[in-house]
Amino acid sequence: MLITKKHISRRAVLRGMGVTMALPFLDAMVPARTLLAKTAAGKTRLACIEMVHGSAGATALGLAKNMWSPAAVGTSFDLSSSSLSPLEPYRDAITIVSNTDVRNAEAFEAKEIGGDHFRSSAVFLTQAHPKQTEGSDVLVGPSLDQLYAQKYGQETAIPSMQLCIENVDQAGGCAYGYACVYTDTVSWASESEPLPMIRDPRYAFDQLFGVGATPEQRAAHRRADRSILDWITVEVGRLRNQLGPSDRQRLTRYLEDIREIERRIQKVETQNSSGEARELPGAPVGVPDSFDEHVKLMFDLQALAFAADITRVFSFKMGRDGSARVYPESGTKLPFHPASHHGEREDRVAQFAQINKYHVGLVPYFLEKLKNTVEGDSNLLDQTLIVYGSPMGNSNVHNHKRCPLFLAGHGNGTLKGGLHLKAADGTPMANVMLTLLQGLGLSDMKSFGDSTGAMDLNQAPETTV
């Protein structure tokens, strides 16, 4: 039998004017008689999102009114009263894991009391207890995202990328004897190697889609108001001639998405360079003043990077514990940190729940992007694992019990979705992380952080809470 199918390497790129741009997954990249699972389409993408400072649902009132986790466990849960209600359209791809604790974020010694703000973020993805120090001798543990990146990251152009929304460029000591880096990042390559986070969408865009061009080349084209796509026009034309109709359509959509993100970044830069007063004085010119726009740009960059298999690993820090930022779209004018210290007053707890709901409400934008991105016989939502949570529970008292956590996507069959699982009292969140690491291919891992064992994330309980 003669096999005539044209094959393009999965590592093929578009080159021009110093730029090297990755391609999205195309049917032409699957060799004849090759199983899809052996291609990049069979690889799980991982996105870890931290939204700091707990949830209203971890308070006594929040538990009674199901402000975070729904009342029923199993598959018949109701999200209508929950901050998770924006996830309802994607409930089949959601796994809620409630009632887990993050003990390693607590103070172990008297001298550590009060340092929860400056300890918690370092614990989220490491589930390890940070060494109290204001020097360079920081110590915590490797993070979930980096353990996955170290095993599979060398298969992609960028092993992993770390993004954030708030200003996290502090150095030295912060407070209560902790180095600022503990609260400035959630990603740790090793127990002593924190990874910096990118706040500026322009910088992230250039790293992902402007590979090979020098900063001077990129700046010159921006001054000339030219798109990065202008550099690869000839190569795009040549490639289109090799593709079938569906692949040509997919390539066109991918390039249009890149250009649209680029246009939005340019619009932000123009606005922020206009001389008008900014809501975020001192923020880089590429950082939108709008939280909503900033988060969505970062989600767009992640979705496109996943589509092109530039990287399979992102961590995304969406806030800082002490932030006084106001989110008008949430329906409350209370600044974030003051709102989190609600004094257990019912009206204030309800307002903090509104902020929690607003933050969660941005995630479906990302889920939709992934679901609408076809890859092989599936889509990116089926192939991605998203971890969203906080290492703090009730922010009013800075405890680390009943911490908010949900998982999204199916992770190439790792998660069935459509479940609410309630852990037994005292269960470490590290048990969930250990299970995810094993499902991601690190099957030889027997422990992670303070884990006490793996957890079945696909078994629907028969009881209700």
Please state the three-class secondary structure of 11-65 as a single string.
CCEEEECCEEEECCCCHHHCCCCCCHHHCHHHCCEEEEEECCCCCHHHCHHHHHC
Task: Write down the pTM of the prediction.
Answer: 0.92
Q: Say if residue 365 is in the same domain as residue 317.
A: yes
The DSSP letter of residue 459 is P
Q: Say if residue 124 is in the same domain as residue 224.
A: no
Answer with the one of 285, 310, 335 that is the final residue of a domain.
285
Q: Say if residue 307 is in the same domain as residue 277.
A: no
Does residue 161 contact residue 168 with C-beta atoms inside 8 Å?
A: no
Q: Say if residue 251 is in the same domain as residue 318.
A: no
Helix, strand, or coil here: 313? strand
Does residue 412 contact residue 383 with C-beta atoms inside 8 Å?
A: yes
Helix, strand, or coil here: 425? strand
pLDDT at 223: 58
Sign, Cα dihedral of 400, 174, 200, 294? positive
pLDDT at 292: 96
Please report which residue ranges of 187-290 form alpha helices under DSSP H. 201-209, 215-223, 233-240, 245-272
pLDDT in tens, the chain (465 residues): 223 345 677 667 777 666 777 787 788 887 654 554 445 556 899 999 999 999 999 999 999 999 999 999 999 999 998 999 999 999 999 999 999 999 999 999 999 999 999 999 999 999 999 999 999 999 999 999 999 999 999 888 899 999 999 987 666 778 899 999 999 999 999 999 999 999 999 999 988 987 665 666 666 655 556 687 877 887 888 888 888 888 888 888 888 999 999 999 999 999 999 989 999 988 999 999 999 999 999 999 999 999 989 999 999 999 998 899 999 999 999 999 999 999 999 999 999 999 999 999 999 999 999 999 988 789 999 999 999 999 999 999 999 999 999 999 999 999 999 999 999 999 999 999 999 999 999 999 999 999 999 999 998 655 444
**Residue 163: beta bridge partners?**
198, 316
pLDDT at 33: 47
Distance (Å, rounded) from C-alpha 91 to C-alpha 108? 38
Q: Say if residue 166 is in the same domain as residue 308.
A: yes
Answer with the one of 222, 256, 285 that is the final residue of a domain.
285
Q: Say if residue 102 is in the same domain as residue 235.
A: no
Q: Say if residue 421 is in the same domain as residue 432.
A: yes
Q: 302 phi and psi, to 5 degrees?
A: -65, -45
Distance (Å, rounded) from C-alpha 156 to C-alpha 208? 11
pLDDT at 464: 42
Answer with the one of 285, 316, 346 that is the final residue of a domain.
285
Q: Say if residue 381 is in the same domain as residue 462.
A: yes
The DSSP letter of residue 231 is G
Q: Say if residue 465 is in the same domain as residue 438.
A: yes
Domain count, the chain: 2
Q: Say if residue 276 is in the same domain as residue 412.
A: no
Nearest-10 Cα torsion for 131, 134, 135, 136: 60
Strands 313-317 and 45-50 turn out to be parallel
Does residue 338 contact residue 395 with C-beta atoms inside 8 Å?
A: no
pLDDT at 316: 98
pLDDT at 3: 32
What's the CATH code of the domain at 356? 3.40.720
How many Cα atoms within 13 Å fall on the side-chain side of residue 460? 11
- Residues 6 or more apart whose CB falls under 8 angstroms from that of 412 comprise 42, 43, 44, 382, 383
pLDDT at 5: 47
pLDDT at 225: 61
pLDDT at 250: 85
pLDDT at 211: 63
Q: Which of 78, 51, 76 is nearest to 67 (CA)?
A: 78
Q: Say if residue 437 is in the same domain as residue 307.
A: yes
Domain that holds residue 123: 45-199+287-465
Q: Say if residue 49 is in the same domain as residue 37.
A: no
